[in-house]
Amino acid sequence: NIKQRLQMLVKQANEDLLDVTPTHIITVTGEINEFEINYYDKQYNTILTFARIFTNQATSIAYQHMFNALFDLVKQFTNDSAKFNHIHRKGWTCIIGDLDIAQLTGLDEALALIDNSYTWEEHLIYIFKS
Pairwise pLDDT comparison (13 vs 58), residue with the higher score: 58
Give a yes or no: residue 33 inside a domain. no
pLDDT at site 99: 76
pLDDT at site 28: 46
Highest average pLDDT, of 6-10, 54-58, 107-111, comes from 107-111
How many other CB atoms are found less than 10 A from the CB of residue 111? 26
The answer to whether the CB of 97 falls within 8 A of the CB of 107 is: yes
CA pair distance 13, 52, nearest whole angstrom: 16
Q: Per-residue confidence at 127, pLDDT binned at 50, 70, 90? A: confident
- Supply the range of the domain harboring residue 55: 2-28+38-129
What pTM was computed for the model? 0.73
The count of domains in the chain is 1
